[in-house]
């Protein structure tokens, strides 16, 4: 594996990326993500992972069906803990050492998120799974990823998606959509490019946190993004 450019990062894996036609979690995709994370950690990057929950519950969807939004969001946050538990097992099986933590206390299930504990796990070579979102409704796991990256002194957020970077328009709908290799936070705002939701992006911009957007479709894509070798878009302060 090529030498990583970053010493410590948060990898954001969307819940939807784990779905791949399965009803909740596609086992093969889960194993691929775990293998990739373990290889990247062994190559020298300290890693925290924020997993989404969109493959199981999204607050907005649930609330459209009649439940209050905070209840739907709580269900969504619990879904992120479920995904974190699955990824914890997959990472341990892949030869790494993982610790699931939840921002919502559930001591029978996993450790409660605590900044210094999470940092200690990372220093000791463990991959930390940061479940339970921010523990507050009306936020997303993109916001959680940027927040944890700022808190845990990370150098970047790696946003694993289904596309190989940021485009001027949806590349699935517009064949003329332009792909960017590099952007500033200000460019993304000026051109209304959807890198992350507005809250997450505002936090990243204010804290000059770089965001690397890449596709996790291929095995090895997390390592490639970390070493700057794969196709990705870097959104940085300048």
State which residue has the least CB distance to ligand UDP: 52
Nearer to ligand UDP, 4 or 130 (CB): 130
Q: Residue 233 interacts with ligand UDP (CB under 6 A)?
A: no
- Looking at residues 83 to 112 of the shown chain, list those that interact with ligand UDP (rule: CB under 6 A): none
Q: Is 162 annotated as a binding residue?
A: yes
- d(C-alpha 181, C-alpha 225), whole Å: 12
**Nearest-10 crossing angle of helices 69-93, 27-42:** 60
Structure tokens belonging to residue 29: 């995709």
- CB < 8 Å & 24+ apart, contacts of 176-181: 179/233, 180/233, 181/233, 181/234
User: CA dist 40 to 74, 126, 197, Å?
Assistant: 31, 12, 27
State the binding string over 172-211 for ligand UDP (x if CB under 6 A, else -): ----------------------------------------
Minimum CB separation of residue 12 from ligand UDP in Å reads 7
Which residues face 98 on adjacent strands? 127
Minimum CB separation of residue 128 from ligand UDP in Å reads 16
Minimum CB separation of residue 119 from ligand UDP in Å reads 20
Report how many residues bind ligand UDP under the rule CB under 6 A: 23
Residues in the chain: 238
Nearer to ligand UDP, 102 or 141 (CB): 141
- d(C-alpha 53, C-alpha 71), whole Å: 14
Q: Residue 14 interacts with ligand UDP (CB under 6 A)?
A: yes
User: CA dist 176 to 165, 182, 189, Å?
Assistant: 15, 18, 20
Q: For 229, how many CA atoms within 13 A lie in the half-sphere containing its CB?
A: 10
Q: Is 14 annotated as a binding residue?
A: yes
Segment contacting ligand UDP (CB under 6 A): 30-38, 141-149, 162-170, 218-226? 141-149
Helix residue spans in the chain (DSSP H)? 27-42, 59-64, 69-93, 115-123, 141-151, 185-190, 198-206, 221-227
Q: Residue 29 interacts with ligand UDP (CB under 6 A)?
A: no
Place of tokens 């607050």: 59
For ligand UDP, the binding residue among 136, 184, 199, 215 (CB under 6 A) is 136
Return binding residues for ATP: 12-15, 54, 58, 161-162, 167, 170
Point out which residues bind ligand UDP (CB under 6 A): 14-16, 52-54, 58-59, 72-73, 76-77, 79-80, 133-134, 136-137, 139-142, 144
């Amino acid at each position: 594996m090529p030498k990583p450019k970053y010493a410590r990062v948060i990898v954001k894996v969307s819940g939807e990326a784990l779905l791949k036609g399965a009803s909740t979690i596609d086992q093969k995709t889960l194993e691929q993500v775990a293998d990739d994370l373990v290889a990247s950690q062994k190559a020298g990057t300290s890693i925290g992972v924020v997993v989404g929950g969109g493959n199981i519950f999204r607050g907005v969807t649930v609330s459209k069906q009649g439940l209050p939004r905070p209840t739907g969001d709580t269900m969504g946050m619990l879904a992120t803990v479920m995904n974190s538990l699955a990824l914890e097992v997959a990472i341990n099986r892949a030869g790494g050492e993982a610790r699931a933590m939840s921002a919502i206390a559930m001591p029978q299930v996993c450790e409660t998120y605590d900044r210094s504990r999470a940092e200690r796990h990372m220093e000791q070579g463990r991959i930390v799974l940061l479940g339970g979102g921010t523990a507050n409704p009306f936020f997303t796991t993109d916001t959680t990823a940027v927040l944890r990256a700022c808190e845990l002194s990370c150098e970047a957020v790696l946003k694993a998606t289904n596309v190989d970077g940021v485009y001027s328009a949806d590349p699935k709908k517009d064949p003329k959509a332009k792909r960017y290799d590099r952007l500033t936070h200000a460019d993304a705002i000026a051109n209304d490019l959807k890198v992350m939701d507005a809250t997450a992006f505002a936090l990243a911009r204010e804290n000059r946190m770089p965001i690397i957007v890449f596709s996790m479709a291929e095995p090895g894509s997390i390592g490639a993004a970390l070493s700057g070798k794969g196709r990705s878009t870097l959104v940085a302060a300048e």
